[in-house]
Chain A
């Protein structure tokens, strides 16, 4: 039961919330909509739920127009960021709500409703809370009630708006693993909105990165992280060093180091190179193809050293991460000097205007000794 979203556009008074968004969601997928606030991800979710409508474009499920259906007929489960539990109803009554409002012909018998509510509450480990009111529950418990309430109507599609946004860090991590298990167990199709990239990359089968109402990239978490399609994705996902490079004589050069061959055969003069902090390696002192750098700061976080390096050749500061296991050269201390080179870089053409640089011709190249790899 594939969901096909095509060319969705939604405009608020002065800015586009969605700008020509197309997307296919196969059944059983766990999809994350990731982006900064104002990127249109919540608008997209609300359109799927039937709480908002696009100015143009279509949403089809099994070839049928989903937008023509009223919110209450879409068989969609929605969990709000702040849960929107009915405060005057007990936990059990909240979960039963979607069943009790059905027309009497399709409404389950009273005993069946009670049985289903009990089963769901046991599944979300709240069977002892059935007679409590939402105000008497913790944030994590409310979240689970909201989930049970959405699942009670056996939705074809589960939508979650910032599901973990209002929870503290520890609850968040355990709850999201649990949510993933629930998704697999119920065989759900789930779309969730988040601005937390860690959450999206950990949970989702595929991630849709959105920015200013447009889709920047759709891909698996690995693809999003390792093969970012646009400069925005590079900068939004994880950390990345941004370095200016030049295309000279068929080579891509930055700070005197040849990063690889020119992927555009001289069509562009300059390029922007992104290098993730963990993609630097320490070079041997006699190795020519490297940048000389000096340590400005060294921070330890668990088994990782975060280094801030002065790179005189580039005229800028670089961030580098070194994991304990792969530490070849003694202690990192302030003022220590060494040579580093990138293992893997992502390059975009520069100087042809921001619009063109957004999506056109990304190339991933490896340093001189390795063959050049083409981007997606």
Chain B
């Protein structure tokens, strides 16, 4: 986004007012964001680097890292497929219930993650609607990996679609029509024209989706059952260690999660800086 130079008129704050506003914002960031982050890393390393490495290489820790990566690796592709399909439908077609679809995409943002988790327990749990049938066929969803994936898909559903819809609406379908008239079939049109046009916004959505999938606690906590080494993802592992007064261990795993978040932030910022024009959120005009 371009820097906006504010005109010096009476409606804009005086110099001291401006300084005060900036100070408040910076102080807020320091206290509520940077300080906790610093605490995570200092606590993680408080008992020495040795303890830190022991904490994150314990079997439970390694299994939680593996599980978190596995869940993200399944959730992100599902989200890409759904996100592109939903964005395509909303941006390119007129159909009954289009407004409803648009509203439903946002639903996971407004529903508490705990409720999302409970919904799946009600559906697939032992006492749930499909519980007896699933049980009879030996399929485990709740308190198992499929439940974790379902809950994560639910909470991350909007990320990719939300990035793509405004961009695809702004770009319109002329490029795709041009490709069709030039003789491209559907797949060629998609891979040679549509996808390149939305690639940076898609990557941006994938990053946000990935960060959320790895960091999700509420929904996952409900469906996990907290079986050590089997169904605990990293956020759950952090909580369990904390509850067991293993502060160094909790913060060690937490610091890994924080590192993931920082990495996401860095890539996201780089994307915004380099391809800001192609990202819907930052260029309402599209191109």
Which residues in chain A, 28-58, are within 8 Å of chain B measured between CB atoms? 49-51
By DSSP majority rule, is chain A's interface helix, strand, loop, or mixed? Answer: loop
Contact A97 B174 (CB under 8 A): no
B175 closest partner in A (C-beta): A84
A98 interface hit (Cβ, 8 Å): yes
Shortest CB–CB separation between residue A98 and chain B, in angstroms? 4
B177 interface hit (Cβ, 8 Å): yes
Contacts of A49 in B (CB 8 A): 177, 181
Cα–Cα distance between A51 and B182 once the two chains are bound (Å): 12
Contact B196 A72 (CB under 8 A): no
Cα–Cα distance between A299 and B195 once the two chains are bound (Å): 56
Cα–Cα distance between A303 and B278 once the two chains are bound (Å): 51
What class of interface size applies to chain A in its complex with B? Answer: 20 to 34
Contacts of B177 in A (CB 8 A): 49, 51, 71, 78, 80, 84
Contacts of B208 in A (CB 8 A): none
Cα–Cα distance between A73 and B175 once the two chains are bound (Å): 18
User: Which of B181, B192, B193 is A71 in contact with, Cβ under 8 Å?
Assistant: B181
What class of interface size applies to chain B in its complex with A? Answer: 10 to 19
Contact A80 B174 (CB under 8 A): yes
Which residues in chain A, 66-94, are within 8 Å of chain B measured between CB atoms? 71-74, 76-78, 80, 82, 84, 86-89
Contact B181 A50 (CB under 8 A): yes
Contact A72 B178 (CB under 8 A): no
Contact B196 A101 (CB under 8 A): no
By DSSP majority rule, is chain B's interface helix, strand, loop, or mixed? Answer: helix
Contacts of A102 in B (CB 8 A): 183
Contact A72 B180 (CB under 8 A): yes
Contact B179 A97 (CB under 8 A): yes
Which residues in chain B, 241-287, are within 8 Å of chain A measured between CB atoms? 287
B182 closest partner in A (C-beta): A98
Shortest CB–CB separation between residue A370 and chain B, in angstroms? 52
User: Which of B185, B192, B197, B287 is A97 in contact with, Cβ under 8 Å?
Assistant: B192
Contacts of A153 in B (CB 8 A): 182-183
Cα–Cα distance between A371 and B194 once the two chains are bound (Å): 65
Contacts of B193 in A (CB 8 A): 86
Cα–Cα distance between A51 and B192 once the two chains are bound (Å): 19
B114 interface hit (Cβ, 8 Å): no
With a 10 A CB-CB cut-off, give which of B183, B184, B188, B196 has the most chain A CB atoms. Answer: B183
Q: Mark interface residues in B17-51 (1 if CB within 8 Å of A CB, else 0).
A: 00000000000000000000000000000000000
Cα–Cα distance between A82 and B12 once the two chains are bound (Å): 40
Which residues of A line the B interface, CB within 8 A?
A: 49-51, 71-74, 76-78, 80, 82, 84, 86-89, 97-98, 101-102, 149-150, 153
Which residues of B line the A interface, CB within 8 A?
A: 174-175, 177-185, 188, 192-193, 196-197, 287
What 4 additional pairs, Cβ within 8 angstroms, besides A82-B174, A86-B178, A87-B287? A80-B178, A86-B192, A101-B185, A102-B183
